[in-house]
A and B are shown apart, each in its own frame.
Chain A
Amino acid sequence: MYVGVDVGGTYTDAVLLKNNRVRAMAKIPTRENLLSSLLESIDTILKDADKKEIKRIVFSTTIITNMIAGHKYDQVELLLIPGPGLTHDYYKIKPYVHIISGAVDYRGRVTARLDKQEIDAALSKIAAGGCNKVGVIGKFSPRNTSQEKRVEAIIKEKYPDWQVELGSRVGGKLNFPRRAETTYLTCATRQPYRAFLDSVQQALAEREINADVFILKADGGTLPLKGSEELPVETIFSGPAASTLGVQALTPPGETSVVVDIGGTTTDLALILSGKPLLSAKGARVRDQLTQVRALAVKSVPVGGDSVLELDGNKIIIRSERQGQAYCLGGPVPTPTDALRVLGLTSLGDQDRAAEAMGILGKALGREIKDIAARVIDQVVENISAEIEKMFWEWEQEPAYRVWEVLHKHKEKPRLVVGVGGGAAGFVNKVADRLGCSPYIPQYAAVANAIGAAVARPTMQVSLRADTEQGYYIIQEEGQQEKIKDRNFNERMALDLAKESLIKRAAKYGLEVDPDEIEVASQEVFNMIRDWHTSGRLFDVTVQTPRGITGRVGDGGDIDV
């Protein structure tokens, strides 16, 4: 039996799956104490179950999101080694940034040295401010970790109890500002996150639950609870990922669908293309800054069932805030839910109050109540549909750096519009209509997110870069640099090395990986020609455990629409 729990902003949902069938489900309001909401939902679904049969529990929580939004973490300072390039003023805007000398270039060659005195001075300043959490981030540090490591050693020598995070371990891709941001967030959240994990484990132990426990990440994969300590920010925004995986489990394989989760004031959108959830090309945006956190491409549209409707002259304006429930449910102002009620598209609330709500808008416009309701619905549907079209357009516009990619530009049309989350289902039909798709509301739409968590699989990536001219390779995630001994080092050897490292790394987290199942996420080889001769080769290989879900749930797989 599998358990999936999604602790969302408003509700905590949980499901118990047995043989890919939903055996129990729970939906409770999320309280301020996330742990107690989580435990209550588990207790509810496990009431009649044999705890020994539970093989796996997967959580998705907003703990990191809440920590960051509420600024509930200790002070963090960053030591940046930006070297030449963009002006340093660009980084100095942030008060917690200290710039130090040093530089590494795109090939990982050191082009400027560290300055010990300068580092000591920066550390004294940090210490004087009472901070003991430091991130060290170098430009191009994934290509050569030595300067970051040297700074770490200096810090550890002087302040052994400080928490130090290195950019090269947290963000191995090329993007210095995103790496710095990711390192900052990692540094800030690791300790409180660890405390949260400890209390989860303790609570499960008290309940005599001995299942493997995983946590959901923004990319729709999972990590073992203990392992997620290393990269807590990867668990941010796992809620939309949970819903998307849920839809994947509740629809036929290979389907191209739009996931529409209409909530109170926002509608979350995600895409499943030929059965695979679309990843964001840029990484998650946190605190208005891009990070190196791999995340699904999710868009939040500021419109939902409880959005406030207002008049501006002859126009109906949909505000992005809510002032309580819909008017038909006793709320203070007209909302899109009232419009749905008037047209009989929902059975929520009171018909007369809904009509009254539309009347408030209609009187000023001198129009029939049904007309107004239809106009409101059209407007909401148009907002959502336009955003969906934009998502597809943006995906098609993703830059291509090879002739082959330009000639084989992705183009795909959605077939299904899948409504989840239980809110405002009435809109889904209309959105599907507008986009020329079929609407689909799965049986367990209300807890699709929890189902998504339950079926999520562990994911792990390893990136290898080898530079045969300089004679070294580096496993980005481990930050370890090794000499290339074989003079005939080739593409196959690079790939084998990467796979081997992935298996080793996975074992460290208690995961077993079948070598035959390993996917190659990207692979690049460049010949380096100097003076008309091949002087070396550059290899960049990323391998990963297979993406996907453990199985389809309920009638997923044989719907007929």
Chain B
Amino acid sequence: MSKLLPKKTGLIFFPAFDWAISPTHPEREERLLYTRDQIFEEGIMDLPQIEEYSPSLALIHDLARTHFCVPRVEDQITEAHLIAAGAAILLADKIVQGEIKNGFALVRPPGHHAMRVVHGNRGFCNINNEAIMVEYLRARHKIKRIAIIDTDVHHGDGTQDIFWHDPDVLFISFHQDGRTLYPGTGFTYELGGPRAYARTINIPLPPGTTDDSLLYVVDNLILPVLADFKPDFIVNSAGQDNHYTDPLGSMRITAQGYAKLTEKLRPDLAVLEGGYAIETALPYVNMSIILALAGLDYSGVKEPDYLPGRFKETPEHKDQVRRIVQELRQRWETRDNAPIEKRDVNGNYYQRKKHIFYDTDYIEENQLEKLRLCDCCPGYLIIDTKANLGFNRPATALCISVPAAACPKCRAEAGDVFQQSKKTSQYRNVYLQDKHSDTFYGYDCEKSREWLTEGR
């Protein structure tokens, strides 16, 4: 037998040096400049353990599989978004095909605050790179069980929203406590829909948390849950704003801490999210994540101003983290016998109301989300959305999402809802996302115009 070469770590570095939300915005051209300098100067791309790929564009169809962009996908994105999502998809393809052992999409713009329905930009995100990649993996490669670990300092509320009802996607986010930071969510009681209970796990950490407590959470909660869930593919939403120099967050994680975290999580694919200490954190944190993924010695990566033992937590702080871990371990243990609250059920549907604020674009959105409770399948989802785009311009839409595993009855029912809603004058747009046939329809009620995108 021929000797097999050890597989490499795939890297797509897409700093989008010609793209910014606005000239002075944290999400601007300069963000990955010093990271580039660092990884180029270190000769990272020349290492035999690293393979650099050039990004390609995601298809509009790939976006329509995950999002309801109102009114059209093209209205909510720029080419940079297609490239960032396309990079994650390309690396995922290479991993599934066995060409590389793991990968890191070091790309911008980020995505984890983008929810299923998209009226604009929130938390610097328009579309959710990881979610689009996960839905692609399921549609194209029939990968069933996927875990997403969000290690950004902000709660990954967009990813949570998209997989809230999905029992096959385990979403774990640790972040700085929502009472102290945007987006103000991600509490321990946010655990997912009735059919996916505890497949959403939120770990709100008190400000000032250091490497020690973070790695405690990984060892005592995240790794045991992953071991139980047995995912076929692990994604890391790799935000770097837990770093002790980040201007937006207040945590105290070091480059070494990020390296150890990555080494323990062993993600198949890491995708860059936030992180805005562009000089003091990003060059070092990105290096340590790359080295950890490639199985290389990262012990030499050190911020110039860091000395071991610089950060210490109080005993109270440590206790607080331990209590959160204990509580969530219990939730996880009882995940399969959680009762549905009667007051949330309306006829055949489980429903919840959501108010969503788009901080970047100043849009207010109200949603009524209804899950069809079906005994044979996960059931389809209906989202009734109304957004105020400012200047009294409302955007109304009805979004119907049918999972790939939906039963024939649910699929027919969802089709009926779509056809009937087209006739009412209640919504400006109506959408049907049929993941079973990988076909996505949109309808403009005012112009009586329908469009669709189909799988290849």
CB of B351, distance to nearest CB on chain A (Å): 41
- Residue B334, interface by CB 8 Å: no
- Whether the pair B46, A106 counts as a contact (CB closer than 8 A) is no
B13 in contact with A401 (CB, 8 Å): yes
CB pair B46 A527 closer than 8 Å: no
Q: How far is the CA of A354 from the CA of B222 in the complex (A)?
A: 70
Contact B33 A538 (CB under 8 A): yes
* Assembly CA distance A403 to B42 (angstroms): 25
Q: Which residues of chain A are within 8 angstroms of B33 by Cβ–Cβ distance?
A: 526, 538
Are A174 and B304 in contact, with the CB atoms below 8 A? Answer: no
Interface residue tally for chain A (C-beta within 8 Å)? 42
CB contacts (< 8 Å) of B314 on chain A: these are none
B246-289 interface bits toward A, Cβ cutoff 8 Å, 1 = contact, 0 = none: 00000000000000000000000000000000010001100100
**Least Cβ distance of A375 to chain B in Å?**
24
- A103-B304, A528-B30, A532-B24 are known contacts. Are A282 and B41 too (CB-CB below 8 A)? no
Contact residues in B for A406 (Cβ distance below 8 Å): 14, 54-57, 79, 83
What are the interface flags for B357-392 relative to A under an 8 Å C-beta threshold, 1 for contact and 0 otherwise? 000000000000000000000000000000000000
Chain B positions within 8 Å of A511 at CB level? none
Q: Are A403's CB and B41's CB within 8 A? A: no
Whether A401 lies near B36 (C-beta < 8 A) is yes
B79 CB to closest chain A CB (Å) equals 5
A107–B283 CA distance with the chains assembled, in angstroms: 12
Within 8 A of B (CB), among A508-538: 524, 526-529, 532-534, 538
Given contacts A111-B304, A112-B304, contact A87 B41 (CB under 8 A): no
Interface string of A177-198 (1 = CB under 8 A from B): 1100000000000000000000
Chain B residues, Cβ within 8 Å of A106: 34, 37-38, 41, 279, 283
Pairwise interchain contact B28-A529, C-beta atoms closer than 8 A: yes
Q: In the bound complex, do residue B42 and residue A401 qualify as a contact, i.e. CB atoms below 8 Å apart?
A: no
- For residue B43, CB closer than 8 A to chain A, the reply is yes
Which residue, of A282, A402, A409, has the highest number of chain B Cβ atoms within 10 A? A402
Q: Which of B13, B30, B291 is in CB contact (< 8 Å) with A399?
A: B13
Q: Contact partner of B30 among A84, A409, A529, CB < 8 A? A: A529
Q: List B residues 52-74 near A (Cβ within 8 Å).
A: 52-57
A397 neighbours in B (Cβ, 8 Å)? 53-54
Asked whether A140 is an interface residue with its Cβ less than 8 Å from the other chain, the reply is yes
Which residue of B17, B43, B57 is within 8 Å of A401 (Cβ)?
A: B17
Name the B residues within 8 Å of A528 (CB-CB).
Answer: 30
Residues of A within 8 A of B7 (CB): none
Q: Kindly identify, within residues 155 to 180 of chain A, every residue whose CB is under 8 Å from any CB belonging to chain B.
A: 174-178
Q: Does chain B have a CB within 8 A of A139?
A: yes
Residues of chain A contacted by B55 (CB below 8 angstroms): 400, 406
A178 touches B46 (CB 8 A): yes
For B80, list chain A residues within 8 Å (CB).
403
Taking CB as reference atom, which chain A residue is nearest B35? Answer: A106
The answer on a CB contact under 8 Å between A533 and B24 is yes
For residue B23, CB closer than 8 A to chain A, the reply is yes
Q: Does B29 contact A (CB under 8 A)?
A: yes
A105 within 8 A of B: yes
- How far does the alpha carbon of A181 sit from the alpha carbon of B231 in the complex, in Å? 44
The reply to whether A175 and B297 form a contact with Cβ atoms under 8 Å apart is no
Which residues from chain A contact B53 at a C-beta distance below 8 Å? 397, 399
Picked from B24, B41, B79, the residue with its CB within 8 Å of the CB of A407 is B79
For the complex, give the distance between the alpha carbons of A178 and B46 in Å: 9
Q: Does B302 contact A (CB under 8 A)?
A: yes
CB distance from A469 to the nearest CB of B (A): 11
- In the assembled complex, the Cα of A201 lies from the Cα of B14 at a distance in Å of 50
User: Bound state CA distance, A104 and B286, in angstroms?
Assistant: 18
CB contacts (< 8 Å) of A409 on chain B: these are: 54
Which residues of chain A are within 8 angstroms of B283 by Cβ–Cβ distance? 106
Q: Inside 8 A of B54's CB, which chain A residues have their CB? A: 397-400, 406, 409
Cα–Cα distance between A86 and B79 once the two chains are bound (Å): 34
B328 to chain A, nearest CB (A): 36
* Given A403-B18, A406-B83, A527-B23, A84:B13 Cβ within 8 A: no
Which residues from A are CB-within-8-Å of B410? Answer: none
Top 7 A-B pairs, shortest CB-CB distance: A106-B37, A111-B304, A87-B297, A177-B43, A174-B40, A84-B302, A174-B41
23 intermolecular pairs with C-beta atoms under 8 Å apart:
A84-B304, A85-B38, A85-B42, A85-B300, A86-B42, A86-B297, A86-B300, A103-B304, A106-B34, A106-B37, A106-B38, A106-B283, A139-B42, A175-B40, A176-B43, A290-B43, A399-B12, A400-B14, A401-B14, A401-B17, A403-B83, A527-B28, A532-B24
